[in-house]
């Protein structure tokens, strides 16, 4: 439901849950120069505002609202950087209080339009604490070998520098920001970012629309560049770094010639499940269980970019043998050398995950967003289970032959 250009309300009626879920989403371009600002904005919005100028006062208010929970989170979808404000609250149908929903939307209004500021910048005392917290979080991530190696792979794989940066930014980028620059970014987001408001649960649509119409939204453009594609290169980028750790991390980035909205995306999910996405997959059973070459090994499709990632924690003496085994499993996929039972098992697990997700409000909201903006021309989307069930060996073989290694990043342990 369009409120104004670039601002949409999505109402998902269900009586399955005892709580309602309200998500206010900003979608903007994923840029190296703004990502730190946006993360700092997310932290400030969840911490305090002009009506509740400390986290303690805000939490007391949430407790008074029957234990309503407030959180913010940042995520990425290809070229989009997303900031969500999430409110989970008891369904008003369980209460005799008639103005409860109004109080929830009042709180959202306060978060957005009464931020904790002093002279056109976030209040410095609270902001400086949140900035220090973010820096500490990012510094701690440097101790995570898998996280470091993943960023190393992104740096090699992506041609666009903006996709090489974590959704949480980097320490040096955060250090450059201050209470003024972060607040100015927040004001720009309110005016220019695509905005989506999702309400999932039991409610009266007319009363929700009445609440939303109180918000002073201005027209803006929809963000149309979520899915990111890049050309395949004829060479493989390689890099080796070293750190003082027992385990070495091997990261492989493959060019997958499709993204979420492509008709063959279900084939990519089945292929990934066969390769390394599940505990019964070829990489897990052959490389880890049978040969004992990896402490851990898996693969992952990045739905909104053209990356299929394989990662393994290994002993540094096993690097070449592990690579040979991974390459062999790719050859098996291309040649259809795996059992029909393995294919059926993979499809069944994907279908199980799909149906289990019906019990997750966050995933249902995510599906609504994707269907609206990423697959709105795909008439078969409601038949997604049928499309998974229809995938066969020929489909897998055909797609596997179009997938090519583009980047190899190796973080070698020194012990």
For residue 382, what pLDDT is reported? 57
pLDDT tens over the chain, length 415 residues: 999 999 999 999 999 999 999 999 999 999 999 999 999 999 999 999 999 999 999 999 999 999 999 999 999 999 999 999 999 999 998 888 889 999 999 999 999 999 999 999 999 999 999 999 999 999 998 889 999 999 999 999 999 999 999 999 999 999 999 999 999 999 999 999 999 999 999 999 999 999 999 999 999 999 988 899 999 999 999 999 998 877 899 999 999 999 998 999 999 999 999 999 999 999 999 999 999 999 999 999 999 999 999 999 999 999 999 999 999 999 999 999 999 999 999 999 999 999 998 899 999 999 999 988 887 555 445 588 999 999 999 999 999 999 999 999 999 987 6
Residues 6 or more apart whose CB falls under 8 angstroms from that of 340 comprise: 393
* Residue 374: DSSP 8-state: T
Neighbour count for residue 67 (Cβ, 10 Å): 11
**Considering the entire predicted model, what is its pTM?**
0.94
Measured distance CA(294)–CA(285) in Å, rounded: 11
Measured distance CA(105)–CA(120) in Å, rounded: 24
For residue 379, what pLDDT is reported? 47
For residue 376, what pLDDT is reported? 56
């Amino acid at each position: 439901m369009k409120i104004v250009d670039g601002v949409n309300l999505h109402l998902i009626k269900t009586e399955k849950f005892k709580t309602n879920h309200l998500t206010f989403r900003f979608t903007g371009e994923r840029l190296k120069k703004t990502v730190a600002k946006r993360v700092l904005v997310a932290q400030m919005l969840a911490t305090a505002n002009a009506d509740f100028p400390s986290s303690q006062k805000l939490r007391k208010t949430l407790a008074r609202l029957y234990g309503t929970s407030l959180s913010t989170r940042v995520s990425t979808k290809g070229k989009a950087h997303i900031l969500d404000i999430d409110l989970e609250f008891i369904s008003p149908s369980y209460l005799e209080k008639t103005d409860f929903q109004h109080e929830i939307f009042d709180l959202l209004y306060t978060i957005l339009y009464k931020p904790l500021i002093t002279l056109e910048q976030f209040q410095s005392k609270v902001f400086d604490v949140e900035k220090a917290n973010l820096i500490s979080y990012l510094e701690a991530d440097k101790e995570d070998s898998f996280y470091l190696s993943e960023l190393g792979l992104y740096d090699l794989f992506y041609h666009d520098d903006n996709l090489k940066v974590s959704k949480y930014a980097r320490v040096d980028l955060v250090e450059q920001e201050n209470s003024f620059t972060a607040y100015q970014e927040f004001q720009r987001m309110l005016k220019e970012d695509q905005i989506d408001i999702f309400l999932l649960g039991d409610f009266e649509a007319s009363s929700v629309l009445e609440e939303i119409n109180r918000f002073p939204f201005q027209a803006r453009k929809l963000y149309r560049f979520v899915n990111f594609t890049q050309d395949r290169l004829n060479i493989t980028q390689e890099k080796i770094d070293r750190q003082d750790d027992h385990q070495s991390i091997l990261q492989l980035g493959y060019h997958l010639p499709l993204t979420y909205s492509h008709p063959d995306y279900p084939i990519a999910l089945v292929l990934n499940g066969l390769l390394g996405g599940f505990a019964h997959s070829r990489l897990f059973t052959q490389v880890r269980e049978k040969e004992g070459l990896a402490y851990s090994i898996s693969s992952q499709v990045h739905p909104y970019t053209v990356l299929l990632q394989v990662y393994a924690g290994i002993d540094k003496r096993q690097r070449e043998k592990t690579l040979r085994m991974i390459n062999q499993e790719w050859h098996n996929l291309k040649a259809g050398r795996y059992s029909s039972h393995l294919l059926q098992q993979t499809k069944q697990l994907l279908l199980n995950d799909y149906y289990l997700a019906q019990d997750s409000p966050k995933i249902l909201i995510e599906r609504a967003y994707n269907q609206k903006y990423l697959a709105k021309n795909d008439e078969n989307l409601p038949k997604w289970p049928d499309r998974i069930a229809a995938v066969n060996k020929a489909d897998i073989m055909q797609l596997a032959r179009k997938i090519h290694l583009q980047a190899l990043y190796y973080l070698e342990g020194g012990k």
